[in-house]
């Protein structure tokens, strides 16, 4: 809970993998088109997300944006790198436009080599699906489903820490930066 958001977070293991599925749902008191622009701006990501070391645009695949990203993981785990495809679409609706954002690991991403001399673990299973609907008063409701596979089984206490502290902290930080981003870069969207 914050002045910008009320949200809930859930998690469950993804059977047959070391991945965890996280679900977030709630209400955000920000301009939805501005928030969407902020969410898709991979160049801006390292400026506000402390665990993102690198975010670099790659050539598009069709109409889909592709990003190479390196995320800092806590010791003793190696840093993770991702090759992520991102798309978004707005569906007009009489009850409020629905904004859909999707990101997932790019196929054949093992072919892209990490920067030389850096030990990385390439994340092969990453998915993010986000839907949001404007509800008036400068707010929107949202539901996000995120699947991230660290490649190793994480102990339950670390999973609990991720859900109780890391996800809410990162989400709250993103909202603070999204508000500033919208004010500085989006004008009157």
pLDDT at 143: 94
Helix-strand-coil split of the chain, %, nearest 5: 25, 45, 30
Q: Where are the alpha helices (DSSP H) in 32-166?
A: 32-40, 45-48, 156-161
76-80, 115-119, 128-132: least confidently modelled range: 115-119
Number of H helices, E strands in the chain: 4, 9
Q: What pLDDT sits at residue 2?
A: 58
Q: How far apart are CA 21 and CA 127, in angstroms?
A: 9
Residue 3 corresponds to which tokens in the numbers above? Answer: 């002045």
* Token pair recorded at residue 95: 């009850």
Share of the chain above pLDDT 90, in %: 18
Dump pLDDT digits (tens) for 67-80: 999 988 776 778 88
Task: For residue 14, give the nearest of 148, 154, 155 by alpha carbon.
Answer: 148
Q: What is the mean pLDDT of the chain?
A: 84
User: Would you say residue 1 has pLDDT above 60?
Assistant: no
Mean per-residue pLDDT, 96-102: 90
Q: Are 96 and 133 in contact (CB under 8 A)?
A: yes
What is the rounded distance in angstroms from the CA atom of residue 57 to the CA atom of residue 21? 26
């Amino acid at each position: 809970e914050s002045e910008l958001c009320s949200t809930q977070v859930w998690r469950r293991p993804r059977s047959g993998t070391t991945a965890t599925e996280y679900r977030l749902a709630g209400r955000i008191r920000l301009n939805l088109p501005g928030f969407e622009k902020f969410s898709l701006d991979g160049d801006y990501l390292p400026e506000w997300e402390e665990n993102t070391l690198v975010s670099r645009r790659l050539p598009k695949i069709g109409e889909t944006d592709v990003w190479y990203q390196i995320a800092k993981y806590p010791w003793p785990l190696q840093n993770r790198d991702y090759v992520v495809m991102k798309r978004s679409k707005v569906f007009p609706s009489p009850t409020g436009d629905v904004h859909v954002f999707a990101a997932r690991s790019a196929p054949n991403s093992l072919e892209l080599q990490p920067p030389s001399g850096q030990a990385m673990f390439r994340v092969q299973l990453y998915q993010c699906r986000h839907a949001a609907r404007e509800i008036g008063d400068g707010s929107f409701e949202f539901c996000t489903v995120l699947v991230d596979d660290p490649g190793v089984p994480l102990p339950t206490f670390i999973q609990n820490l991720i859900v109780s502290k890391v996800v809410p902290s990162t989400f709250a930080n993103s909202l603070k930066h999204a508000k500033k981003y919208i004010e500085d870069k989006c004008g009157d969207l």
